[in-house]
A = this chain, B = another copy of it.
Amino acid sequence: MNGAQSLVRTLAATGVDTCFANPGTSEMHFVAALDSEPGVRPILCLFEGAVTGMADGYGRMRGFPAATLLHLGPGLANGLANLHNARRASTPIVNIVGDHATYHAQYDAPLASDIAGFARPVSGWICASTSAGTVAADAARAVAASLAPPGQIATLILPADTAWNPAEGPAAPLPRPTAAFVADAAIDRAAAALRSGEAAAILMRGAALQPEGLGAAARVAAATGARLMCDTFAPRLARGAGRTPVERIPYFAEQMVEFLQDLKVIVLVGTKPPVAFFAYPDKPSWGLPEGCRIVHLAHPHEDGPAALLALAEAVDAPASGLAPAPLALPERPTGRFNHFTIGQLIARHLPEDAILSDEGATSSGGTLLATATARPHDVLSLTGGAIGQGVPVASGAAVACPGRKVVCIQGDGGAMYTIQALWTQARERLDVTTVIFANRSYAILNVELSRVGAMNVGPRALSMLDLHNPEIDFVRLATAMGVEASRAASLDDFDAQFASAMDQTGPRLIEVVL
């Protein structure tokens, strides 16, 4: 057995069953080892941003890491933007990066670079294996590290000779880290704050936004009148019929401030106080009103759902809390073809247990509005603001959850960063329907250009935000990579195309021409 085989068997033994990969020469022994261990499914991507985005989508849905396989520093570099999003999502990922053989490093060959330097800004844990004898143990540590609550990226750098030299065998899995208990004092403090009668909100992220945590929060809200909120870009949110409705903090700074302006108390569960996504001249960066008390119920590494349950008891909450969202599907829309009416059609057809990967930017609003009372589903949002997440995260979620329909709400600008993920959807027959909102623009930047107070804007500046010249044909792009695609220019088009996509399985793309 060589080091690579000991590594792959260790991954399988710990429960890592999927490896999103874009390998090169230095990873060939790892690739060969995949045939000796059927427990790890390799999934090839044509670009590393697709690899890491899929690992993020997988990890958000499973709460357990997939492995990546990347080719030295540049391969890692291509995957960093979606690792940034994954870091902001606290997604567990075992991020494996091949390197030159240890004895080859001295020669500074063309592909040599500072791999750990590239990895550091996104990784919670980094280890460069030093010998084939330690690779298996390093892999077991990486899996455990990735699961350190609330989840993080564990980067394992694998020099080629540590993969090809002889190893003793796989390592035993390490105990899975568990979320920390919240102290009684923290629960008492939150209970006292919420009982004060002051205007209060509970702001949640992470595990608290799944049904158990939301149900407990609904009880607290019923007992105390606290508003329930989630971050603008929560990694994962359970919503739709039967789920506790939560208010999403608005994106733009001044809307955020207005939304929060009456609060005297904010109770944080797995998150931080809200701040503006960007700074703007003469606009606030801090979201909370002056004098608002910040009460930490559960930090991100602590058990948010358990803390909410304890809080419900502490405030003597009733057994049933706020009413869950009803099932209320929109009427079939008529009139204009825009993101509101398209969102209504999506809500009508969205099947139960669907997963929405949302990178619609200025086109997301309609879908999020209309699906609030649609059949129950999960939403995965753009946690780190690095566009190019939507299609890969949707793909990874589909790998993680066979049998659940995945719908990707995707802006055209962001789609082009990692469009290669469509090829993997076709290859693996992933059940993803991608809706491209083709407004031929970085539309958000047209909004931001005036919001930041840029003056004397002329044609050169505007051309930097415009995608009309030439227009991108997403139907051709998709079919070029083996994904069935169609174009919708009216509500009737979209209704028929989206309904048929929901009725079949496998990858589909619909280009919505706005």
User: Which residue numbers of A lie inside 8 Å of B, CB to CB?
Assistant: 21, 23-26, 28-29, 31-32, 34-36, 42, 44, 46-47, 49, 72-75, 77-78, 80-81, 84-85, 88, 100-101, 103-104, 107-111, 113-114, 117-118, 120-122, 160-161, 164, 233, 272, 275-279, 281, 285-286, 383-386, 388, 413, 416-417, 419-420, 423, 426-427, 444-445, 448-449, 452-461, 463-465, 467, 469-477, 479-482
A152 to chain B, nearest CB (A): 15
Contact of A35 among B109, B461, B467 (CB under 8 A): B461
A128 to chain B, nearest CB (A): 15
Given contacts A34-B460, A100-B278, 8 further A-B contacts (CB under 8 A): A23-B464, A25-B448, A46-B467, A73-B121, A104-B278, A110-B277, A117-B120, A427-B470
How far apart sit A100 and B280, CA to CA, in the bound complex (Å)? 10
> B464 near A472 (CB under 8 angstroms)?
no
A333 to chain B, nearest CB (A): 30
> B42 near A285 (CB under 8 angstroms)?
no
> B160 near A109 (CB under 8 angstroms)?
no
How far apart sit A118 and B469, CA to CA, in the bound complex (Å)? 32
> B29 near A454 (CB under 8 angstroms)?
yes
How far apart sit A160 and B276, CA to CA, in the bound complex (Å)? 14
* Copies of this polypeptide in the complex: 2
Could you say which residues of chain B place their CB within 8 Å of the CB of A281? 161, 164
Could you say which residues of chain B place their CB within 8 Å of the CB of A78? 49, 78, 80-81, 388, 417
> B385 near A445 (CB under 8 angstroms)?
no
> B32 near A461 (CB under 8 angstroms)?
yes
Contact of A32 among B161, B233, B386, B455 (CB under 8 A): B455
A6 to chain B, nearest CB (A): 14
7 contacts between A and B (CB under 8 A): A21-B464, A23-B464, A25-B444, A80-B118, A111-B385, A117-B120, A419-B419
> A32 near B278 (CB under 8 angstroms)?
no
> B464 near A35 (CB under 8 angstroms)?
no
Contact of A24 among B32, B117, B445, B460 (CB under 8 A): B445
> A416 near B464 (CB under 8 angstroms)?
no
Given contacts A24-B445, A32-B454, A114 and B104 within 8 Å (CB-CB): no
Given contacts A110-B233, A416-B47, A472-B481, A32 and B74 within 8 Å (CB-CB): no
How far apart sit A460 and B35, CA to CA, in the bound complex (Å)? 6
Given contacts A121-B73, A445-B25, A276 and B109 within 8 Å (CB-CB): yes
Could you say which residues of chain B place their CB within 8 Å of the CB of A103? 279, 285
Contact of A101 among B85, B164, B279 (CB under 8 A): B279
A386 closest partner in B (C-beta): B74
Could you say which residues of chain B place their CB within 8 Å of the CB of A285? 101, 103-104, 107, 109
> B386 near A111 (CB under 8 angstroms)?
yes
How far apart sit A47 and B48, CA to CA, in the bound complex (Å)? 13
Could you say which residues of chain B place their CB within 8 Å of the CB of A44? 463-464
A467 closest partner in B (C-beta): B46
Could you say which residues of chain B place their CB within 8 Å of the CB of A84? 73-74, 77, 113
> A473 near B469 (CB under 8 angstroms)?
no
> B160 near A449 (CB under 8 angstroms)?
no
How far apart sit A178 and B114, CA to CA, in the bound complex (Å)? 28
Contact of A114 among B120, B161, B459, B474 (CB under 8 A): B120
Contact of A426 among B47, B108, B470 (CB under 8 A): B470
Closest 3 CB pairs of A and B: A470-B482, A35-B458, A74-B386
